[in-house]
Amino acid sequence: MDYLSSWIANILLFIMLAAVVELLLPQSTMQKYVKLVLGLFMIVIILTPIFQLFSLDPKNIYGQFETETFSEQFETQNSLEEKKIEIQAQQRAYILEQTAVQMENYVEKELMDTFGYTIGQIRFELKDDRFDIPIEYEEIFEQTERIFVFLEVEEQSDIEPIQEVVVQPVRSFRNNEEGDEQLVQFLAQRWGIDQEIIEIQVEGGNGGN
């Protein structure tokens, strides 16, 4: 594009220069020769791109074309690959979100009736950020390093007299701690997964760190 612009600019500049020369020349036989020379120069300027084209090595032209084509294909392939990775990441996030909702709904009532807890959030820590799509329910847990279950104590709806409030820190406890084993076993059995990958975080209670 730059070469074409330069070529057109040269033609226009030469036309302007030729017009000025003709105006300055007196009416004589010499003016005819000058016009002839200017015409020849004009033809040379117009045909310059063609002369340069024939002077180029065809191998160089093909090599340049091949390089540019490969570069464009490489950029397009990278762009498509990035889009593919982005879409797959969104699909995986959606699958995990829907799985967490199903897990919560499955144990929600029994968990509250038996243990007095509600599930605030379920978060997956995967062994690998990627897994094949589509994926079965059981396969998700095969790819899971740990499942974090955030529990909340059931709120009392009845109005009670104001008492001294003791704020308990958020505690994290594993499935092998005494007193919490039943809760972890309950979740593992209901969800059909290995209890070793379950880690619970709950406000209050008597769980250890």
Which domain range does residue 20 map to? 2-55
Residue pLDDT, tens place only, 138-157: 888 888 899 999 998 876 55
Give the count of domains, the chain: 2
Is 141 found in the same domain as 45? Answer: no
In this prediction, residue 122 carries a pLDDT of 92
In this prediction, residue 41 carries a pLDDT of 79
If DSSP codes are grouped into helix, strand and coil, which group holds residue 203? strand
Tell me what the pLDDT averaged over the chain comes to. Answer: 75
In this prediction, residue 166 carries a pLDDT of 38
In this prediction, residue 187 carries a pLDDT of 94
Q: Could you tell me where the beta strands, DSSP code E, fall in the chain?
A: 117-126, 144-153, 170-174, 198-203
Judge whether residue 44 has pLDDT over 70: yes
Is 37 found in the same domain as 122? Answer: no
For residue 8, is it within any domain? yes
Higher pLDDT, 111 or 163: 111
For residue 123, is it within any domain? yes
The answer to pTM > 0.85 is: no
The fraction of the chain above a pLDDT of 90, given in percent, is 21
Residue pLDDT, tens place only, 4-38: 777 788 788 878 887 777 777 776 667 777 777 77
Is 198 found in the same domain as 103? Answer: yes
Is 141 found in the same domain as 193? Answer: yes
Distances (CA, A) of 175 to 97, 108, 178: 23, 19, 8
How far apart CA 199 and CA 129 sit, in angstroms, is 19
For residue 75, is it within any domain? no
Residue pLDDT, tens place only, 166-204: 333 434 444 435 557 888 999 999 999 999 999 998 765
In this prediction, residue 207 carries a pLDDT of 43
